[in-house]
Amino acid sequence: MSNIVIESLNAQPLQEQKLEIVERKGLGHPDYICDSLMDKVSVNLCSEYLKKLGYILHHNTDKGMLVSGKVEGELGGGDIVDPMLLVFGDRATFEADGVEFDIENIVTSTAKEWFSDNLRFVDPSHIKYQIELKSGSSELTDIFGRKKKNEVLGANDTSAAVGFAPSTFTEWIVHETEKHLNSSTFKKEYPESGEDVKVMGVRNNNNIHLTVAMPLIDSYINSEDEYFKRKNEIMNEIDEFVSKYAETENNLPSTSISFNTLDEPGKGLNGIYTTVTGTSAEDADCGQVGRGNRVNGIIPLNRPSSAEAAAGKNPVSHVGKIYNALSHRIAYRIYNEIPDVSEAYVWLLSDIGKPIDAPRMATTQISMEAGTLDSVKTDVHEVINSELENIQQFCMELAKGKVPLY
């Protein structure tokens, strides 16, 4: 590619800046549910298209919404009054070359499997489904019929994405804290903890504070006193987990934890965070694709980001998905493989209809720990070109769900 721009990053690396704010919405958060589930629908559609025709057809399932239901919470175990409603929107291919696809069955079976695999207390009866997937427009659908054998598809949107490397410690600990709280090990030790975990981290100089929200399952809690006892035990465990990893940092940060800060003793159910199912989607919070984590699993407020929701978009022509994920991969390769690079940002810009392996612009902004920018330009070019040359392989990794997106 000739249209690769490499320039110096005229900013202090984020880890050295005074203020940093990072958020992660976890497994049972309504927004995470939408992102993860809708992308799984895309993966299963790709599998069906490949199995029956040998290639992936036009689809985008990135307009999903989870509408909260209603419960009657009660210490010792509450009940579901109205189920949650999961709405699947946007586009899919229902027929091609005389082959029909049972889209409704693929969608609903995917959803049921996802809930069964991920949320311990959500029963099939707790969810209703509304499928609003329609056939795509003729011009966008035709993109899939234009390519010749072994050629990449054209982009189905004019869009830009940005990725970066490396992660800061704040970004890493926010991500890993949620993963720990939703790990099988933690759930075995604290089965009363729900999956709807949200972690907000703020670093002020070298002081990191995490605010954690996570409901307790009301069937495990028989009194307000028991709730606060278990809450304190869990908060101590979180503090121990975070402190342990902070000690591995060269510049040892000071850490502190808050947990379920809306709680107020003496108010019964009105002053404690409990759920029947482990997710606030049961009666408190709706979810939507694109409102959750970025493709690197966090919401990093200090970083530039694309407005595109990657989850659910098709993995072979929609640059809102491909470039979002690829820009991060390129940034990490530059950081890991090229000596003296301390921070890298990669921007990719597409033109609708143009081959996805030939973006209109690929821009890299680099901060050097030592040496000069000129000394690494050739290596940066090679990394970007090699990733674009192998973009079809990368797209198939996306199609099989092998690239984390949330």
CB-count exposure of residue 394 (10 Å: 0-12, 13-18, 19+): buried
Cα–Cα distance, 117 to 165 (Å, whole number): 31
Cα torsion through 27, 183, 296, 40, rounded to 10: -50
The predicted pLDDT at position 226 comes to 98
End-to-end Cα spacing for the chain? 30
Chain length of the chain: 406
d(C-alpha 215, C-alpha 28), whole Å: 10
Look at the alpha carbons of 225, 226, 227, 231 in this order and tell me if their dihedral is positive or negative: positive
* pLDDT for the residue numbered 279: 98
Structure-token pair, residue 336? 């890991």
- Predicted confidence at residue 46, as pLDDT, reads 98
Closest CA to 108 of 88, 84, 134: 88
Q: What's residue 146's pLDDT?
A: 62
Provide the 8-state DSSP code for 154: B
Lookup result for tokens 């659908």: 141
> Tokens 């210490």 identify what position?
75
What residue type is assigned to position 234 of the chain?
Answer: I
Alpha-helical (H) ranges within 247-376 are 319-337
d(CA 257, CA 246): 13
The residues pairing with 24 across neighbouring beta strands, listed in sequence order, are 199
d(CA 319, CA 305): 14
> 172 in helix, strand or coil?
helix
CA 59 vs. chain centroid, Å, equals 20
Report the alpha-carbon angle 48-50-56, nearest 5.
100
The pLDDT of residue 215: 98
Report the SS3 class of residue 26: coil
CA distances from 63 to 87, 235, 259 (A): 8, 36, 32
**Per-residue confidence in pLDDT tens, the chain, 406 aa:** 678 999 999 889 999 999 999 999 999 999 999 999 999 999 999 999 999 999 999 999 999 999 999 999 999 999 999 999 999 999 999 999 999 999 999 999 999 999 999 999 999 999 999 999 999 777 677 767 665 556 799 999 999 999 999 999 999 999 999 999 999 999 999 999 999 999 999 999 999 999 999 999 999 999 999 999 999 999 999 999 999 999 998 888 999 999 999 999 999 999 999 999 999 999 999 999 999 999 999 999 999 999 899 999 999 999 999 999 999 999 999 999 999 999 999 999 999 999 999 999 999 999 999 999 999 999 999 999 999 999 999 999 999 999 999 9
pLDDT at residue 141 in the model: 75
Burial class of residue 237, CB neighbours in 10 A (0-12, 13-18, 19+): middle
Q: Which residue bears the tokens 């090699």?
A: 386
Residue 15 and residue 367 in contact, taking contact as beta carbons nearer than 8 Å: no
CA proximity to 391, closest of 334, 318, 338, 335: 318
Res 307: pLDDT: 87
